[in-house]
């Protein structure tokens, strides 16, 4: 079953050129995902009752064009049949004329909050699944990139942590984007980006942003927490 919500791109969600930032777009996805899951009976309240937690593992975002400040967009999301231990969820972002701006697909893990071990999603996700795909391919598994250099350090703070007690996925995307922009990248020129979330940071943790040619990685010490790979050019 599909869930749709309207958003107006606000100034604080936009870059200096007026384009919707990748981390803000991911925030739209997160907001609609949990509301959709709540309606279908496998949202935040349901997983907490079982002692479980939803964790975003992989994300692929493909642009037709980047929405701009002041524009109204409609984000539609729906769950798809699971792939092994991954729960799948897709998204479409359309403008006021019904034209597609962005397509995205994501892979989520349902984790036991105590052991941090995966729980098969079909134990909870049993209704509302659609075969329709916004993006036919799956988000890529990103390996460690060679030749990255440290671009900046950040301390995870109050504004970075979500109700699960760890740094929110949108913050990793924001940190990666910040590092890439410092290296000359222009997110409004990206055709697509892939993100993998592979570790956790908590309030007070020192995290380093490492960047290279079209790639970024967030590390806590020697441990990778998130990896991002961008592809440039028109669709």
pLDDT in tens, the chain (235 residues): 999 999 999 999 999 999 999 999 999 999 999 999 999 999 998 999 999 999 999 999 999 999 999 999 999 999 999 999 999 999 999 999 999 999 999 999 999 988 989 999 999 898 889 999 999 999 999 999 999 999 999 999 999 999 888 999 999 999 999 999 999 999 999 999 999 999 999 999 999 999 999 999 999 999 999 999 999 986 5
Query: In Å, how far are 13, 62, 123, 229 from 174, measured between CA atoms?
Result: 11, 17, 33, 13
- Within 10 A of 71 (CB to CB), how many other CB atoms are there? 16
Using a 10 angstrom Cβ sphere, with 0-12 exposed, 13-18 middle and 19 or more buried, the burial of residue 131 is: exposed
Mark whether 69 and 177 lie in a shared domain.
Answer: no
Mark whether 18 and 108 lie in a shared domain.
Answer: yes
Mark whether 128 and 34 lie in a shared domain.
Answer: yes
Provide the CATH number for the domain around residue 94.
3.10.129.10
Separation of alpha carbons 50 and 80, rounded Å = 22
Mark whether 34 and 133 lie in a shared domain.
Answer: yes
Mark whether 152 and 217 lie in a shared domain.
Answer: yes
Range of the structural domain that residue 150 is part of: 140-235
Separation of alpha carbons 118 and 137, rounded Å = 23
**Count of domains forming the chain:** 2
Contacts of 115 (CB under 8 A, 6+ apart): none
Its pTM stands at 0.96
Last residue of a domain, one of 100, 119, 139: 139
- For residue 211, give the nearest of 135, 123, 148, 139 by alpha carbon: 148
């Amino acid at each position: 079953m599909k869930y749709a919500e309207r958003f107006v791109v606000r100034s604080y969600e936009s870059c200096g050129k007026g384009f919707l930032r990748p981390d803000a777009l991911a925030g739209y996805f997160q907001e609609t995902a949990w509301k959709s899951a709540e309606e279908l009976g496998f949202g935040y309240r349901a997983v907490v009752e079982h002692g479980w937690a939803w964790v975003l593992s992989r994300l692929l975002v493909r642009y037709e064009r980047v929405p701009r400040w002041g524009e109204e967009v409609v984000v539609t999301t729906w769950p798809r049949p699971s792939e092994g231990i991954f729960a799948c969820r897709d998204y479409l972002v359309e403008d006021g004329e019904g034209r597609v701006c962005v397509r995205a697909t994501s892979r989520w893990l349902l984790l036991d909050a105590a052991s941090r071990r995966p729980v098969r999603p079909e134990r909870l996700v049993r209704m509302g699944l659609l075969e329709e795909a916004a993006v036919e391919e799956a988000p890529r598994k990103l390996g460690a990139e060679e030749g990255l250099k440290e671009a900046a350090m950040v301390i995870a703070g109050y504004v970075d942590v979500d109700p699960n007690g760890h740094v929110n996925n949108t913050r990793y995307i924001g940190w990666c984007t910040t590092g890439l922009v410092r290296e000359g990248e222009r997110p409004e020129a990206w055709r697509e980006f892939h993100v993998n979330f592979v570790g956790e940071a908590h309030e007070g943790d020192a995290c380093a942003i490492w960047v290279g040619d079209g790639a970024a990685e967030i590390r806590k010490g020697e441990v990778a927490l998130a990896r991002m790979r961008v592809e440039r050019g028109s669709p």
